[in-house]
Homo-oligomer: A and B are copies of this chain.
């Protein structure tokens, strides 16, 4: 019993539910080093800026200490994930960070050189978990007997570890990082696909909550394995990934997975290279011809020749040697030639090797399989109509339909309706939470600092108390904002108003509320910036302003320095803040 399923109407996750109702007063600077930040912040890389403003400290390459303000942002981000995962019935768990070797040996992942490994007092082998497919499958296998108990959907937000040889870019490629990893166990492929779709729907909402434009892209499953996967990206010139988007069908995919064809009338490749493979049973030689000046991507041939052995650790000579050696032992010897469509009779092809025996009637040629990474402007292999647009992107999430990739080696399953044993149909779903935080910062940086969306900014508003104010005004304002559940801090320091506003902007607080400024006794609200585009014809505040400007004594203008300002009577500050936050 006691298995929690969130009701659909439930919108706040129970755990880590972020309570925005809070006020804090600021004393003095400890963890940030604002004086060291030059006016021209473009010189400072984002991971350095996150340290200077005191969000994180890095005790060593790839390791991170979270300081109070960074932790606030992280927790708000986690809170969004908790809510959206809860809505689709994922229950939160928290698995051990240490995992004994035996399960990893069964799935063949113990050899991964990026696993942090250690020995305990009894010389047992442990690793620090990088992901938890093995452990969660073991738990669910031991807990579930019958199809009646499925599906099981579980997730956690915990630290993960990777013994990265070249840790870099701060939170983007660390050795310890915070990851949301979800796992699902279903009775069959159809149910598993439903879960996969549900999670992708939740991911869409998560990124919409953040308001940062994103793309989901078909992707290669890589070392996690499995049959189908979707990557989630922020488009940004500093990204390490390349995505291709078709301007006609709109399909987006990672370039490693994008099928492109040369545009009609384009020049054929001048020179072609060849790479040899065999089928897994070594009965057929596969010769792939591709333009010498392009990035070879043989995985694209897999859907046409599904028994191809794509091990590319062997040189051409080694493949031929292996093929020749077995030639007498295998009954039928054939040859398949895969010729990239960019290679034509006008291209210079390498010679066919000598001494290969094969049956003439077992010789096939494919000329319509693209086996190189697509280029911008080429024809989309999905719709055969549009042209591909290329863009750089930062990967922030990945969802996998795994099938039985883990349940088979771990022999993990259940009894179906007919009491017959079946393997779990699985999925796994990751979001690098600390990476996501850094990516949002990277994408939304501006000359003022980091423009966090209001949903994850360390505070929604900084209340900056100027000398001109009296204590009763401040306490009235604090009470009002508390009641309205605004998440704010009160900055009563001695330093100048502009300096305090600048520091608030650097850490990404979207609004400053100035008490006792030049408009005293009215309150000034300064909007840090508008990092997002308008969704409707007007900003939410413009609609509210048209209605209430007079009653609320609400003036709005852009000052000489280009800052958007709102001046309003003390009683209406919370209401104006709430409206402004809608677009921030």
Contacts and interface: CB of A to CB of B under 8 A. Distances in A.
Interface of A: 1-7, 10, 12, 14-34, 54, 57, 59-60, 63-69, 71-72, 74-75, 91-100, 113, 116-118, 120-122, 124, 128, 135, 138-140, 142-144, 148-149, 152, 154, 159, 161, 163-165, 175-176, 458-459, 487, 489, 491, 493, 495, 500, 503-504, 507
A176 B34 CA distance: 37
Contacts of A144: 30
Contacts of A1: 26, 28-29, 32, 34, 491, 493, 495, 500, 503-504
A472 to B, nearest CB: 16
B176 A96 contact: yes
A12 B3 contact: no
Given A100-B59, A458-B2, A121 B165 contact: yes
A149 B14 contact: no
Nearest to A54: B2
Contacts of A161: 98
Nearest to A118: B118
B118 A94 contact: no
Contacts of A68: 2-4, 91-93, 154
Nearest to A34: B1
B95 A163 contact: no
Contacts of A124: 60
* A-B CB proximity, top 8 nearest: A17-B19, A4-B24, A118-B118, A66-B94, A14-B22, A63-B96, A68-B91, A1-B503
Given A4-B26, A59-B99, 14 more contacts: A1-B32, A14-B20, A16-B16, A30-B143, A63-B96, A65-B94, A74-B94, A97-B97, A97-B176, A113-B121, A116-B118, A116-B120, A117-B118, A118-B118
A94 B71 contact: yes
A181 B91 CA distance: 28
